[in-house]
């Protein structure tokens, strides 16, 4: 539009603003941008509109005259409409049967599947890596740095609740008690015993047993390595509670003190010895295994007890989807909740994120069965690698990092890497045995890696990472310390050190990802008077102390769109406060008003990219606008 004034003008309006018609809730079911088949679902009654057009055509063709030909055509149309109604009814009935499944139906449909670290290793390092060479679309996207917007988000750039993720701490601040309890619904295995050992732990490297307590509940007991008391159990207790508060489904974990004499052995119990052979678990073998476990005062054993999930169907793929699950309609690499496991993992140093540490479980709610996707096994988070402290390379490179190998081949030189330099600076020693190796000195949130590569982590967009970072920043210092305290370190200094590392790492993650978007949040629209409106927002970089209000400048511009296309945008208008006013143009009921917001920190910095897009549309109440979309970009 050549005449900018037709788009709107900037001005300070003094009358008290009234909040515009409320937008749909940012959480819950949400307005998914893509439907089940990846397309937007229309809300109009197209069948009714078609029927009206057909009736109008018959009326014009001569309904008022006794024309048998006209009646014949009308009867054909009526028959067609009845057939169409029957067809639609059958489709709806089939759909209801497909999605309102019973537990028995879903249990038969979704087959159980197993994996192991070695299979995950083969798939990640060999099969997936070489198969990727044939994915020309992926290669092209890498070359052109193209990324795709996540498909499990709503119109306000949030992730709605689903079987993969449920909004908890980010939606409404959890109490300290709720944070400290985590997903626990009870008190763990009955302390008086007896605890019957069903079998030894198969997966992983730490010592453990599957047990059944005196209440009939089953748990997996895992212990610390003898060289590092409290390390693995603390990592498991702390990290599972933080992942739960973030919004993921995790099992119940309990920190327990075990008197060895309450352990009994089931007659059919087996275990795997050091040579990898399956053996019958005898009392002698049990005592031999216990020699690997550190003992507290009085010979008590410290363990994490995870309550076993029933009706599970094996692992969840981090890429692709489970086609036998009727609710699993979005490829996992296109789910923000899966992509940003990399961001959350970088905070908690969860380098063992892989499909083998997930579990799909069938649950029932309101008569409908569905698959819930769990994260499990947190013993290799923070500074722990389960049976030993993390090696310094953890988080910096994959186990087999083809990219790093490719970097080294041209020079054929052995170059000292930053993490190696840091390890040398620490004299190659772990300062806190109960914490393992957990260092922030060269921590780079954008470069952090899991030990096995998964494709979804490469699909993280700036908007995805911003969403994850603001959830991490939602944990206050006090809340982090409260969760760390639940690990019950015998030395309070260990808890203090770990809390400081997590707090510093939280800020590093937030600062990094906020600098790669326009970090404005909590956008609200207010109607002032007439055609005058006001937008208010929060600048998270200022709120969390990464920038100051004095060095910050904002700007925005407007454009309108109608059926005919996009109108010319207005010039950018700069402002200093976390609000701005504007005069909205008159639009048809199908028109939209788009505002692009950017931020600049200090005179030497450029304007933020991508810009924050805020879209308004006419409300049902004539003359008013409502907020319909927020987009932090790709």
Q: What share of the chain has pLDDT > 70, as a percent? A: 79
- CATH class held by domain 188-307: alpha beta
Summarize pLDDT for 507-563 with one digit per residue, the tens: 999 999 999 999 999 999 999 998 899 999 999 999 999 999 999 999 999 999 887
List of residues 6+ apart from 207 with CB closer than 8 A: 201, 222, 223, 289, 292, 293, 387
Question: Which of the listed CATH numbers 3.30.70.1560, 2.60.40.1930, 2.60.40.10, 1.10.443.10 matches domain 4-23+517-631?
Answer: 2.60.40.10
Q: Which residue has the higher pLDDT, 563 or 56?
A: 563
Helix (H) and strand (E) counts in the chain: 17, 20
d(CA 256, CA 135): 48
Residue 70: predicted pLDDT: 56
Residue 221: predicted pLDDT: 95
Q: Quick one: pLDDT band at residue 476, thresholds 50, 70, 90?
A: very high
d(CA 48, CA 89): 15
Summarize pLDDT for 96-117 with one digit per residue, the tens: 444 457 888 888 888 888 887 7
Q: Where are the domains of the chain?
A: 4-23+517-631, 46-102, 120-170+316-514, 188-307
What's the whole-number mean pLDDT along residues 81-95?
A: 52
- Dihedral sign, CA of 241, 231, 435, 495? positive
Q: Give Cα 141 distance to the centre of its chain.
A: 23
Assessment of whether the complete model's pTM goes beyond 0.85? no
Summarize pLDDT for 579-616 with one digit per residue, the tens: 999 999 888 888 899 999 999 998 777 999 999 999 99
Q: Which residue has the higher pLDDT, 97 or 385?
A: 385
Summarize pLDDT for 398-422 with one digit per residue, the tens: 887 767 777 667 766 667 788 888 8
* Identical fold, 4-23+517-631 and 188-307: no
Asked if residues 463 and 149 have their Cβ atoms less than 8 Å apart, the reply is yes
Asked if residues 345 and 450 have their Cβ atoms less than 8 Å apart, the reply is yes
> Which of 355-364, 447-456, 558-567 is predicted least confidently?
558-567
* 194 upstream amide cis, omega within 30 of 0: yes
**Regarding beta strands 301-307 and 218-223, do their DSSP bridges make them parallel or antiparallel, or are they unpaired?**
antiparallel
* 610 upstream amide cis, omega within 30 of 0: yes
d(CA 347, CA 507): 9
Is 219 a residue whose pLDDT tops 90? yes
List of residues 6+ apart from 351 with CB closer than 8 A: 345, 380, 390, 394, 395, 449, 450, 451
**Regarding beta strands 195-200 and 263-265, do their DSSP bridges make them parallel or antiparallel, or are they unpaired?**
parallel
Where helices occur in 113-173 by DSSP H, the ranges are 117-121, 128-131, 136-144
For the sheet with 520-529, list strands across it.
Answer: 18-19, 520-529, 532-539, 579-583
Backbone angles phi, psi at 279, to 5 degrees: -130, 160
Burial of 31 (0-12, 13-18, 19+ CB in 10 A): middle
């Amino acid at each position: 539009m050549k005449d900018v004034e037709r788009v709107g003008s900037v001005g300070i309006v003094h009358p008290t603003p009234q909040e515009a018609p409320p937008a749909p809730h940012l959480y819950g079911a949400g307005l998914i941008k893509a439907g089940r088949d990846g397309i937007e679902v229309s809300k109009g009654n197209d069948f009714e509109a078609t029927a009206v057009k057909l009736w109008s055509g018959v009326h014009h063709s001569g309904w008022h005259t006794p024309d048998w030909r006209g009646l014949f055509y009308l009867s054909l149309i009526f028959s067609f409409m009845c057939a169409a109604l029957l067809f639609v009814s059958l489709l709806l009935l089939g759909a209801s049967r497909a999605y309102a499944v019973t537990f028995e139906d879903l249990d038969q449909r979704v087959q159980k599947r197993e994996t192991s670290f070695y299979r995950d290793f083969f798939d990640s390092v060999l099969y997936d890596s070489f198969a990727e060479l044939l994915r020309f679309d992926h290669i092209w996207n890498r070359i052109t740095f193209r990324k795709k917007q996540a498909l499990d988000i709503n119109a306000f750039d949030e992730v709605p609740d689903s079987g993969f993720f449920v909004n908890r701490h980010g939606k409404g601040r959890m109490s300290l008690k709720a944070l400290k309890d985590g997903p626990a619904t009870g008190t763990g295995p009955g302390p008086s015993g007896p605890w019957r050992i069903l079998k030894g732990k198969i997966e992983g490297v730490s010592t453990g047993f599957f047990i059944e307590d005196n209440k009939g509940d089953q748990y997996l007991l895992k212990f610390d390595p003898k060289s590092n008391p409290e390390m693995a159990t603390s990592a498991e207790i702390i990290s599972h509670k933080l992942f739960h508060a973030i919004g993921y489904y995790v099992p119940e974990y309990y920190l327990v003190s075990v008197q060895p004499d309450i352990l009994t052995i089931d007659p059919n119990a087996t275990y795997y010895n050091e040579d990898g052979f399956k053996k019958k678990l005898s009392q002698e073998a049990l005592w031999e295994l216990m020699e690997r476990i550190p003992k507290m005062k009085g010979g008590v054993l410290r363990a994490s007890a995870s309550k076993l999930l029933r009706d599970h169907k094996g692992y969840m793929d981090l890429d692709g989807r489970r086609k036998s699950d009727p609710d699993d309609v979005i490829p996992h690499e296109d789910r923000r909740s899966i992509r940003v496991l990399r961001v959350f993992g970088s905070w908690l140093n969860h380098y063992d994120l892989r499909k083998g540490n997930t579990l799909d479980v069938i649950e029932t709610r309101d008569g409908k069965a569905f698959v819930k996707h769990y994260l499990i096994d947190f013993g290799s988070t923070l500074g722990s690698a389960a049976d030993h402290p993390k090696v310094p390379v953890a988080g910096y490179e994959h186990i087999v990092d083809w990219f790093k190998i490719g970097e080294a081949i041209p020079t054929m030189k052995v170059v000292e890497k930053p993490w190696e330099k840091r390890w040398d600076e620490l004299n190659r020693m772990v300062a806190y045995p109960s914490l393992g190796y957990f260092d922030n000195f060269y921590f780079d949130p954008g470069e952090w890696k899991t030990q096995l590569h998964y494709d979804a982590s490469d699909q993280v967009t700036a908007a995805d990472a911003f969403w994850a970072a603001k959830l991490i920043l939602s944990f206050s210092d006090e809340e982090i310390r409260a969760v760390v305290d639940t690990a019950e370190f015998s030395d309070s200094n260990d808890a203090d050190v770990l809390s400081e590392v997590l707090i510093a790492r939280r800020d590093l993650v937030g600062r990094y990802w906020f600098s790669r978007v326009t970090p404005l949040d909590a956008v609200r629209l207010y109607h002032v008077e007439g055609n005058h409106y006001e937008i208010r927002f929060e600048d998270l970089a200022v709120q969390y102390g990464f920038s100051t209000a004095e060095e910050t400048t904002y700007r925005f511009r407007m454009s309108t769109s109608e059926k005919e296309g996009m109108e010319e945008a207005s010039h950018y208008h700069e402002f200093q406060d976390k609000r701005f006013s504007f005069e909205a143009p008159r639009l048809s009921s199908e028109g939209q008003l788009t505002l692009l917001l950017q931020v600049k920190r200090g005179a030497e910095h450029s304007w933020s990219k991508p810009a924050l897009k805020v879209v308004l549309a006419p409300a049902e109440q004539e003359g008013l606008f409502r907020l319909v979309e927020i987009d932090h970009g790709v």
